């Protein structure tokens, strides 16, 4: 069975702003937020990459906020907490959420029914965001505003404290794809690819995003994010397009093949004879998120998301359920070898 939530629950911020979703990439990185789209933790982000898998994790692309534009009407689908207010309130347009196997959000606004699906690709620092216009009463434009953090997952970006002034470096069309390259930390770049898109250069800092879970825990909870501008995509009923966010070498393949490759990989995790929609199948796919690559070629186990890395004690406790019961015996062997290679005076040392 898939995880589903109805529109009444989704439009209740006390519910959709509390429930969280998580996509992982097998490298220690992830994509995560609440169902409402409102980040409540410093660890939330659309594109979080591990620079030295599975550690040195960076929140690179924090958000990609959507706006439906029809003539003079603008409907924002994002959601964020600012001092004294929640804006925008895109969760009010959410009519469905399911995870089967990817997080999938359905919005209805301005005569448009828009389905957004998010996938973190396994063993790649790449996130796919698929948009399908299930219904539209007339043509419209979908505006996408990338908001970047460019910082360690445990930190927060404040303009008053930052030494790295993020700025648009380069934008160009390649075929029907817009590439926006933005330096974040040294030579680190992210690339946002939006088919049939145009780009409006509007570099600016957006201030005082608040993360309520951080505030509740007694930590710093405000952040400034940087945007290079707006990506605008003309859209009609029945259209489908994918935005790809990648770190380093971008995969030179068709997005549809990437989606199918990742879907097939997740399906093959489940042994033949197990009902693919069963609770057991869901647990097997969930277990997959904790088995990750440790650079350069070994395997390890993440102790928990979003802030833990790999610990020997936790890995050995979890190993039977993650790898033996699920038939991942070669992964279990590699995990044992990883920790054996890092023994020092009888204790692990993965530093």
For 256-296, what is the HEC assignment? HHHHHHHHHHHHHCCCCCCCCCCHHHHHHHHHHCCEEEECC
Main-chain dihedrals φ then ψ at residue 41, nearest 5 degrees: -130, 155
User: What pLDDT is stored for residue 274 in this prediction?
Assistant: 86
pLDDT band at 73 (very low <50, low <70, confident <90, very high): very high
Q: Residue 320: CA atoms inside 13 Å, Cβ hemisphere, count? A: 1
What is the spatial distance between Cα 286 and Cα 278, in angstroms, rounded to a whole number?
A: 12
What is the spatial distance between Cα 75 and Cα 137, in angstroms, rounded to a whole number?
A: 15
Q: Is the pLDDT reported for residue 1 higher than 60?
A: no
CATH fold of 3-254? Beta-galactosidase; Chain A, domain 5 (2.70.98)
Residue 128 contacts residue 255 (beta carbons within 8 Å): yes
User: What pLDDT is stored for residue 300 in this prediction?
Assistant: 96
- Please give the model's pTM, rounded to 2 decimal places: 0.92
Q: Which of 193, 174, 195, 176 is CA-nearest to residue 241? A: 195
User: What pLDDT is stored for residue 200 in this prediction?
Assistant: 87
What is the spatial distance between Cα 78 and Cα 61, in angstroms, rounded to a whole number?
A: 14
> How is the chain split into domains, by residue range?
3-254, 269-348
To which residue do tokens 């993965």 refer? 350
Specify the range with the lowest mean pLDDT, choosing from 168-172, 334-338, 342-346. Answer: 168-172
Scanning the chain, the segments in alpha helix (DSSP H) are: 7-10, 13-16, 212-216, 255-268, 279-288, 312-319, 329-341
Helix orientation angle between 312-319 and 329-341, rounded to the nearest 10 degrees = 160
The 10s digit of each residue's pLDDT in 87-123 is: 999 999 999 999 878 999 999 999 999 999 999 999 9
User: What pLDDT is stored for residue 204 in this prediction?
Assistant: 87
Percentage of residues of the chain with pLDDT beyond 70: 87
Q: Which of 64, 59, 81 is CA-nearest to residue 230? A: 64
Q: Is the pLDDT reported for residue 165 higher than 60?
A: no
Residue 287 contacts residue 331 (beta carbons within 8 Å): no
User: What pLDDT is stored for residue 292 in this prediction?
Assistant: 97
Q: Is the pLDDT reported for residue 186 higher than 60?
A: no
């Amino acid at each position: 069975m898939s995880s589903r939530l109805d529109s009444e629950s989704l439009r209740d911020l006390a519910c959709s702003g509390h429930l969280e979703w998580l996509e992982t990439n097998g490298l220690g990185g992830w994509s995560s937020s609440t169902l409402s789209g409102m980040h409540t933790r410093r660890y939330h982000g659309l594109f979080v990459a591990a620079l030295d898998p599975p550690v040195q994790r960076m929140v690179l692309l924090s958000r990609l906020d959507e706006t439906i534009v029809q003539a003079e009407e603008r409907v924002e689908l994002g959601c964020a907490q600012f001092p004294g207010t929640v804006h925008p309130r895109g969760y009010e347009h959410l009519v469905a959420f399911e995870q089967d196997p990817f997080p999938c959000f359905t919005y209805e606004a301005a005569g448009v029914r828009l389905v957004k699906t998010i996938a973190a690709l396994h063993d790649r620092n790449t996130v796919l965001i698929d948009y399908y216009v299930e219904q539209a009463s007339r043509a419209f434009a979908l505006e996408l505003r990338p908001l970047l953090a460019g910082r360690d997952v445990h930190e927060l970006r404040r303009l008053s404290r930052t030494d790295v002034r993020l700025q648009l470096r380069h934008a160009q069309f390649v075929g029907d794809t817009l590439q926006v390259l933005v330096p974040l930390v040294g030579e680190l770049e992210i690339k946002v690819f939006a088919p049939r898109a145009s780009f409006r250069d509007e570099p600016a800092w957006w201030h005082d995003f608040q993360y309520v879970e951080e505030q509740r825990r007694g930590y710093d909870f405000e952040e400034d994010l940087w945007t290079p501008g707006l990506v605008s995509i003309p859209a009609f009923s029945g259209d489908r397009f994918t935005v790809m966010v990648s770190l380093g070498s971008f995969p030179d393949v068709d997005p549809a093949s990437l989606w199918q490759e990742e879907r097939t990989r997740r399906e093959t995790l489940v042994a033949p004879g197990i009902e693919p929609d069963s609770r057991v199948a869901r647990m097997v796919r969930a277990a997959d998120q904790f088995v990750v690559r440790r650079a350069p070629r070994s395997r390890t186990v993440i102790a928990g998301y979003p802030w833990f890395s790999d610990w020997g004690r936790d890995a050995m406790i979890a190993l039977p359920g993650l790898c033996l019961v699920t038939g991942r015996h070669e992964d279990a062997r590699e995990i044992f070898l990883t920790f054996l290679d890092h023994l020092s005076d009888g204790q692990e040392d993965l530093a």
